[in-house]
């Protein structure tokens, strides 16, 4: 049991509790409570290994994935790519409340930055691997609106993609008329190449991380990394506002699903089933960690996914989003219901407009009743979580002309 807990923590990128790591010490403005909790929100480590994808850290696969991520030809109209909704100019998200591709979806596009650190992908966690997730948008009518046969045919039919495929995987993609099983396998490999690319979409240290690291090292001038407002916001975040109850870990997310009653887009009762509709789907998905296309069918994630059980209290639960680089990706919440960070902080402060929480839903939130100044401080602290975008060439569209994909 303890071993399992340690393993789960390690997979989420947090240090196992038995390892004594230096952490910021209490003193001055940093009270004991905040100092104790701040330990659980360390700087991001390297992305955890993904044994379900044998090309996860393969450079050639990442180069292929980079091109596929930005390729609008992989859509019904030839105009929608992953980057349409995960745009580097907008922190790898978009600025819309509800995503628009070939049609209008039902949820807000979340950033892809640091997604490789997540165990469950998307707001409801209906994918358990990054590569499995990457296959879903193609066959979603409102997103790319095509099917796997067309995805694979596109790769096989484009000379530079075919060459990049051969370099990455050591074989040619299946040609038109290939058996369905070969197409499925190649489709999973498209996902694996895109995931290899996405694993490079991580953010650099934020002001908060620089503060954390310097303060943990005992640097007497560490506090200069944060403004006065950010320091006050930090104490609130980890203290009386209790944000770290769910937004903890290196991602500022516990990776779990909670019903917080964010206002619904139309003010009516919540209609999105959230996690409840995703549990059976991810467990039974042939593209999951336990399925035939996984490279670690008996691995830790496969075991977890295989034994998932659903229950009605999961209705309306959404994954706690990471707060890293959150200032770059308005609007907020699963349907983009809240326009700004100030609106989010006001919601937590008053719970005004909260959608009904019925008896079997958790009602962990109570109105915080923050003053105007406190809300401004909390918002300032969220701004201290913005790290540098991914380095070149990954953080920008690939330069097709003149780039040798082999
Ligand atoms: C039409 C807009 C749109 C397109 C196109 C699109 N996405 Fe998304 N993406 C979304 C939305 C919306 C979500 C949240 C989905 C949900 O919760 O139901 C999301 C979620 C994700 C996530 C989860 C991030 C996390 O932290 O869990 C990843 C990863 C991702 N998309 C990658 C991709 C890839 C790869 C492609 C191309 C193959 C792609 N997306 C195409 C809108 C889009
Ligand atoms: C009980 C767990 C929990 C607590 C406590 C909590 N959050 Fe959240 N937070 C969530 C969940 C879950 C969501 C997504 C809800 C949704 O989309 O419906 C969320 C969403 C957010 C978002 C939107 C992020 C985005 O990308 O859309 C921000 C910002 C945020 N929380 C900040 C805070 C702050 C600041 C506090 C403390 C005042 C806090 N949270 C307390 C669970 C929590």
Give 209 Cα–ligand 1 centroid separation in angstroms: 27
Of 112, 252, 317, 321, best ligand 2 pocket probe by most atoms within 8 Å of the beta carbon: 321
**pLDDT tens-digit readout, 183-219:** 999 999 999 999 999 999 999 999 999 999 999 999 9
276: CA distance to ligand 2 center in Å?
19
Q: Average pLDDT for residues 236-255, to the nearest whole number?
A: 97
The number of the ligand 1 atom at minimal distance from the alpha carbon of 138 is 38
Percentage of residues of the chain with pLDDT beyond 90 = 85
Q: How far is CA 185 from CA 179, 198, 294, in A?
A: 10, 20, 10
| 390 Cα: distance to centroid of ligand 1 (angstroms) | 18
Domain 21-44+204-274+317-383 fold? Cytochrome Bc1 Complex; Chain D, domain 2 (1.10.760)
CB 334 near ligand 2, within 6 Å: yes
How does residue 268 score in pLDDT terms, banded at 50, 70 and 90?
confident
State yes or no: pLDDT of 360 exceeds 90. no
As a whole number, mean pLDDT of residues 168-194 equals 96
158 has pLDDT over 70: yes
Q: Which atom of ligand 1 is nearest to the CA of 195?
A: 35
**Minimum-distance ligand 2 atom for the alpha carbon of 331:** 27
Is the C-beta atom of 321 inside 6 A of ligand 2? yes
Q: Dump pLDDT digits (tens) for 130-145.
A: 999 999 999 999 999 9
Per residue in 93-132, pLDDT (tens digit) is 999 999 999 999 999 999 999 999 999 999 999 999 999 9
Instruction: Supply the pLDDT for residue 401.
Output: 45
Q: Do domains 21-44+204-274+317-383 and 59-198 have the same CATH topology?
A: yes
59-198: CATH topology is Cytochrome Bc1 Complex; Chain D, domain 2 (1.10.760)
Q: Ligand 2 atom closest to Cα of 243?
A: 37
Three-state SS for the chain is: CHHHHHHHHHHCCCCCCCCCCCCCCCECCECHHHHHHHCCCCCCCCCCCCCCCCCCCCHHHHHHHHHHHCCCCCCCCCCCCHHHHCEHHHCCECCCCCCECCCECCCCCCCCCCHHHCCCECCCCCECCHHHHHHCHHHCCCCCCCCHHHHHHHHHHCHHHHHHHHHHHCCCCCCCCCCHHHHHHHHHHHHHHHHHHHCCCCCCCCHHHHHHHHHHCCCCCHHHHCCHHHHHHHHHHHCCCCHHHCCCCCCCCCCCEECCCCCCCCCCCCCCCEHHHHHHHHHHCCCCCCCCCCCCCCCHHHHHHHCCCCCHHHCCEEECCCCCCHHHCCCECCCCCECCHHHHHHHHHHCCCCCCCCCCCCCCCCCCCCCHHHHHHHHHHHHCCCCCCCCCCCCCCCCCCCCCCC
Q: Whose CA is nearest to atom 23 of ligand 1?
A: 122
Ligand 1 centre from 184 Cα, in Å? 20
Query: d(Cα 375, Cα 117) in Å, to the nearest integer?
Result: 29
Where exactly are the structural domains of the chain?
21-44+204-274+317-383, 59-198
């Amino acid at each position: 049991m303890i071993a399992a807990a340690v393993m789960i923590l390690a997979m989420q990128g947090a240090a196992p509790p038995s390892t004594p790591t230096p952490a910021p010490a209490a003193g001055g403005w940093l009270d004991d409570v905040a100092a104790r909790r701040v330990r659980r929100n360390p700087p991001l480590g390297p992305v955890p290994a993904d044994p379900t994808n044998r090309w996860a850290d393969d450079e050639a696969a990442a180069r292929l994935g980079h091109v596929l991520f930005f390729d609008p030809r992989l859509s019904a109209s030839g105009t929608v790519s992953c980057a349409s909704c995960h745009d580097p100019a907008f922190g790898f998200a978009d600025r819309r409340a509800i995503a628009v591709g070939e049609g209008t979806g039902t949820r807000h596009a979340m950033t892809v930055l640091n997604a490789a650190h997540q165990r469950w992908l998307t707001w409801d966690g209906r994918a358990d691997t990054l590569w499995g997730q990457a296959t879903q948008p193609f066959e979603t009518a409102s997103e790319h609106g095509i099917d796997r046969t067309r995805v694979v045919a596109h790769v096989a039919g484009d000379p530079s993609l075919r060459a990049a495929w051969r370099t990455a995987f050591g074989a040619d993609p299946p040609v038109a008329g290939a058996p369905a099983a070969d197409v499925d396998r190649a489709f999973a490999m498209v996902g694996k190449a895109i995931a290899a690319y996405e694993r490079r979409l991580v953010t650099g240290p934020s002001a908060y991380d620089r503060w954390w690291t310097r303060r943990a090292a005992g640097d007497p001038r560490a506090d200069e990394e944060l403004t006065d407002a950010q320091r006050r916001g930090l104490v609130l975040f980890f203290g009386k506002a209790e944000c770290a109850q769910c937004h903890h870990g290196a991602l500022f997310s516990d990776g779990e699903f909670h019903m917080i009653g964010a206002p619904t887009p139309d003010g009516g009762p919540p209609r999105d089933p959230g996690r409840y509709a995703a549990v059976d789907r991810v467990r039974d998905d042939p593209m999951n960690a336990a399925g035939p296309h996984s490279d670690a069918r008996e691995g830790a994630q496969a075991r977890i996914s295989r034994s998932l059980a659903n229950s009605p209290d999961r209705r309306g639960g959404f994954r706690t989003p990471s707060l890293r680089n959150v200032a770059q990706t308005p609007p907020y919440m699963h349907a983009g219901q809240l326009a700004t960070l100030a609106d989010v902080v006001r919601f937590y402060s008053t719970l005004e407009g909260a959608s009904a929480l019925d008896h079997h839903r958790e009602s962990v939130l109570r109105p915080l009743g923050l003053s105007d100044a406190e809300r401004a401080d909390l918002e300032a602290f969220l701004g201290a979580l913005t790290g540098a975008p991914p380095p070149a060439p990954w953080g920008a569209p690939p330069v097709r002309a003149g780039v040798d994909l082999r």
